[in-house]
Amino acid sequence: MLPLSEEQKLVRDTVRAFAREELWPLAPAYDESGEYPWPQLGKLAELGLLGMATPEAWGGAGMDAVSWALALEELAYADPSVAVIVSVTSGLPQYMLLKFGTDEQKERFLKPLARGEWIGAFALTEPQAGSDPAALKTRARRVEGGWVLSGTKAWITSAGQAQLYVVMARTGEERKAITAFLVLKDDPGLSFGLPEAKMGLHAAHTAELRLEEVFVPDERVLGEVGRGLSHALAGLDSGRIGIAAQAVGIAQAAFDIARDYADEREQFGRKIRDFEGVGFKLAELDTKIAAARHLVWSAARRKDAGGRFTLEAARAKLFATDTAVTATREAIQVLGANGYHKDYRVERYYRDAKVTEIYEGTSEIQKLVIARELYR
């Protein structure tokens, strides 16, 4: 495993202590109620964790990408719903504003996001455009002083809760003639569907976003007109590191529960960890989680170095999310009937893990990205 600096260890240990004291005890109740975790997000904002990777000059904590990944892993260990909200708001809108925004946009929009006064959302997916984002139908019509947006977005994390939405809309007839816009929650014509009834991540609300003749002034165009798709894909490279880190946290939590249970549970007069069927399973999971964490850190270090990190992010997301699903499934198997019971938490981690293979690019899309990057 690549070594961590003392500062990175401090970030990990600080977030771990907070997450296990503040998030862990409440996570099952939030899973049951489906309530958006505003109180926890408020505490995270006080710690500067909603703008971890944004420079201090723009209201953030100025952490490196490795520290960001470490923090997300610890948050996901305690509550994956909170982790994905933090990953999206910090890894997509903030990253895109930092990379493509004007100083005026950073002052007006990035600072409140980084300070945790706002939550940000990323609106690319549509009912008919998921893995093929260039097929989106939301349109932006040019008018005096700005643009008018009309269309529907689907599966948007924090929709209806977030104050700022980075919305991709078509601004030309060419397939990739797409532009990114900064849309505010109180913009006239913007509305939201009810939170989706999902398999997992119940506290991280996901809903439809509807734009009915929403006027967006020119000063809220993010980046270049017609370059929104490339801007969005750059944001997804960053976001995929966050989701991979979330997946590692989920996998580690489920593994730890299974490991401890195997040391306590006895059958046939022996601890079940002494049976090869269980011991070998734990050995394989431990190895997979260590490898996944290494890929996440490598991608984060590549991002910190300032180079292109598309390949590294795709590798990390592909492997880490597969590991999360495998680890949670096998943890249930180790616990047997108890693993199927909510009191042992692993069934929730199993439900929360599956979507990591789907959002911010399915596993199949990650394989396409990796195959493409091999020949760049």
Catalytic (active-site) positions: 360
Q: How far apart are CA 152 and CA 366, in angstroms?
A: 25
Backbone angles phi, psi at 143, to 5 degrees: -135, 175
Compute the Cα dihedral for 341, 345, 346, 352 and give only its sign: positive
Bridge-partner residues for 227, per DSSP? 178
Helix (H) or strand (E) holding 258: helix 228-264
Q: CA–CA distance from 138 to each of 181, 231, 234, 263 (Å)?
A: 12, 17, 20, 54
- SS3 (DSSP) at 332: helix
Structure letter (DSSP) for residue 278: H
DSSP helix, strand, coil percent of the chain (3-state; round to 5): 55, 15, 25
Backbone angles phi, psi at 210, to 5 degrees: -120, 130
Q: With the CA atoms of 23, 24, 29 and 31 taken in that order, what torsion angle do they form, in degrees rounded to the nearest 10?
A: 90
Q: Measuring CA to CA, which residue among 351, 374, 288, 295 is closest to residue 323?
A: 288
Q: How far apart are CA 303 and CA 65, in angstroms?
A: 7
Beta strands 120-123 and 164-170, pairing class:
parallel
Q: Which two tokens stand for residue 28?
A: 């099952």
Q: How far apart are CA 172 and CA 178, in angstroms?
A: 7
